[in-house]
């Protein structure tokens, strides 16, 4: 019975989303027929934002990004009166979230930073309006202070999100560099198995070690010079190669 109830609830949610989608499409068609963006750019932007929200709920993030970008185009058109900073911040933030789900971290960070810029401008506008109020406008002042607090809270969330994205970008860059170094080492060794086949004993592991520690491969039994210890004419530290003997390893005699 519980399973049937859950299925019924899921179907109801899907039906509600479908109805909402159809209503939004009808609204969009009406706005486009009645003057289009020149007359209804703000309304069209709101329609596309809501369509993007529905697609996000359905985890169709690429389609959601397309809707949010379209909403941004309408909102940034000349027919929309300014200021519109909070609306811009909202769309940029939603783009940031959708792009994060798609692992497009650089684009996500770009929109996150644009949302932060829009919020700074919105905060300045609110403060200017608040300062211009007469002293007895207590109710309006309280309303503006509440909006300022909301903007500050969202700005703090955006700052945290931006830090997370920068960390993710840095980690990905480090991983790519490590993989690039490993691939270069493999190529230097003549292939994945060092040209010796599956049982060659060298190859990827040896190449990766060479890349990581800067040791030259195929030393031919020669002493590896690791440089001078201390300053001036100090003694050099040398690494004596070893050769394998039956039952273990034995240091090569100099």
pLDDT digits 0-9 by tens, 64-117: 999 999 999 999 988 888 768 999 999 999 999 999 999 999 999 999 999 999
Q: Which helix (H) or strand (E) holds 239?
A: strand 236-239
Question: Over the stretch 116-135, which tens digit does the pLDDT of each residue have?
Answer: 999 999 999 999 999 999 98
Predicted confidence band of residue 179 (pLDDT cuts 50, 70, 90): confident
pLDDT tier at 224 (50, 70, 90 boundaries)? Answer: very low
| Residue of 120, 122, 144 whose CA lies nearest to 132 | 144
Q: How many contiguous H segments (helices) and E segments (strands) does the chain have?
A: 7, 4
Q: How far apart are the first and last CA of the chain?
A: 82
Report yes or no: 93 and 119 within 8 Å, Cβ to Cβ: no
Residue 85 in contact with residue 150, Cβ under 8 Å?
Answer: no
| Higher pLDDT among residues 187 and 90, named by residue | 90
> Which residue ranges make up each domain of the chain?
2-183, 219-254
The span from the CA of 97 to the CA of 116, in Å, is 14
Which CATH code of 1.10.357.10, 1.10.1370.30, 1.10.40.30, 1.25.40.10 fits the domain covering 2-183?
1.25.40.10
Average pLDDT on 228-238 reads: 37
Please compute the mean of the pLDDT values over residues 1-19 and round it to a whole number. Answer: 68
Distances (CA, A) of 79 to 59, 65, 238: 32, 23, 75
């Amino acid at each position: 019975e519980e399973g049937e109830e859950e299925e019924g609830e899921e179907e109801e949610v899907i039906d509600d989303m479908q109805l909402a989608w159809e209503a939004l499409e009808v609204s969009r068609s009406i706005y486009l027929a009645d003057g289009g963006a020149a007359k209804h750019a703000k309304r069209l932007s709101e329609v596309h934002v809501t369509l993007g929200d529905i697609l996000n709920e359905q985890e169709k993030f690429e389609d959601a990004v397309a809707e949010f970008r379209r909403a941004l185009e309408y909102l940034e058109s000349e027919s929309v009166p300014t200021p519109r900073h909070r609306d811009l911040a909202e769309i940029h933030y939603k783009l940031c979230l959708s792009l994060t789900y798609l692992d497009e971290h650089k684009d996500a960070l770009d929109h996150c930073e644009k949302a932060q810029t829009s919020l700074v401008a919105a905060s300045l506008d609110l403060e200017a309006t608040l300062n211009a109020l007469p002293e007895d406008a207590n109710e309006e002042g309280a309303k503006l202070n509440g909006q300022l607090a909301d903007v500050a809270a969202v700005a703090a969330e955006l700052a945290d999100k931006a830090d997370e994205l920068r960390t993710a970008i840095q980690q990905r860059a480090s991983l790519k560099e490590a993989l690039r170094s490993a691939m270069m080492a493999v190529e230097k060794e003549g292939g994945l198995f060092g040209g010796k086949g599956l049982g060659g004993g060298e190859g990827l592991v040896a190449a990766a070690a060479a890349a990581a520690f800067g040791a030259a491969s195929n030393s031919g039994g020669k002493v590896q010079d690791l440089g001078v210890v201390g300053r001036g004419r100090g003694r050099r530290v040398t690494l004596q190669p070893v050769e394998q003997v039956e039952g273990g390893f034995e240091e090569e005699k100099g």
